[in-house]
Amino acid sequence: MISVIVPIYKVEEYIRRCVDSILAQTYTDFELLLVDDGSPDKCPEICDEYARRDPRVKVIHKPNGGLISARNEGIRAAQGDYICYVDGDDWAAEGMLQFVHDTLAASPVPLDMVLFAADNVYEDHLEETVNNVPEGYYDRARMEKEIFPKLIVDSKNGLNTGCIQAHTWDKACRRELQLQCYTRDERIRVFTDVPMTYECLLNCQHIYVSNQHLYYYNKTNEGSIRAKSKENLLTKSFYYLTTYMQEHMRGVVPSIDRQLNEFPASLIVRTAKFRVRNESSFREAVKRLKEGLKESEMLSLVSAKGLPRGPKLLITLLKMHLYTPAMLLCAAKVRKDAE
């Protein structure tokens, strides 16, 4: 059996489409766990309505604790051999669970994880999101050679996003592995998929990667946590995220320690560029970055040593409290990228 976990908070406008897409799956041997994270709208009543209509639906009502807290409640309650996730404002293709089941059944070895692809849904178009590795089966040796060296950060061309999407919702993971690797620090409120996804992958022995599009990721919900993430740049939550990753993933495979330093550096670089592009003035951009670095304490978690040339210089300047020169460097990079 497959368990499907849907964390729910303030998605009244979208929740019926989400749940209906799961109940309409061509594969039917699943349980659906609707985790109401203290939602203040009508979502709790809607969840209970579905539970009365379909015995596969189970509802968990809990005080608001954030996305990680809601997922954790679902993981602990799940009974399936594998767990899938659907966010409350997204929806699943009707063949998603069938694909997961058939892939597991056809595998010559027991799989720890099945990865697939998704479509980002905008108002007027779709954009695909895929994993940047070849499709197929991966044993531990192949993962260590082809995936782990660029799992979190691909540093060959700057500090680019790693080769595997960090989302929880485009994967099916063995429940026992999730119980071993679920994120314990519920204070993390940014990039909430990242720690569990990557820790699980680092502990996998066999996975299957597909670029079949089986999930619809709603990019039109301006009220979602992910849509508002730009308002929460370099808060204390980033510190919790980074320290958690370093504590739980350091030393698992040789190439990961480097990436655990590059990851917070990439967040600082990304934030600096965002400030340059979006603040009302350069002075305001410098001020806001300085405030974020102070609040998040992120610089204490990063070493300039071993970083690519541009990020290395930026981090070095920031560690010397030379914020204006650092932001001038960043502004020059932003202009160059725009050309």
pLDDT in tens, 182-238: 999 999 999 999 999 999 999 999 999 999 999 999 988 665 444 444 544 788 999
DSSP assigned state of 279: S
- The answer to whether 2 and 105 have CB atoms below 8 angstroms apart is no
Whole-number Å distance between alpha carbons of 110 and 173 = 12
3-state secondary structure of 124: coil
Whole-number Å distance between alpha carbons of 235 and 316 = 21
| Position 158 pLDDT exceeds 80 | no
Return the higher-pLDDT residue of 268 and 222. 268
Say what the pLDDT of residue 227 is: 46
Say what the pLDDT of residue 151 is: 96
Whole-number Å distance between alpha carbons of 221 and 151 = 28
Q: What is the pLDDT of residues 52-91, one digit of tens each?
A: 999 999 999 999 999 999 999 999 999 999 999 999 999 9
Enter the pTM of the model. Answer: 0.93
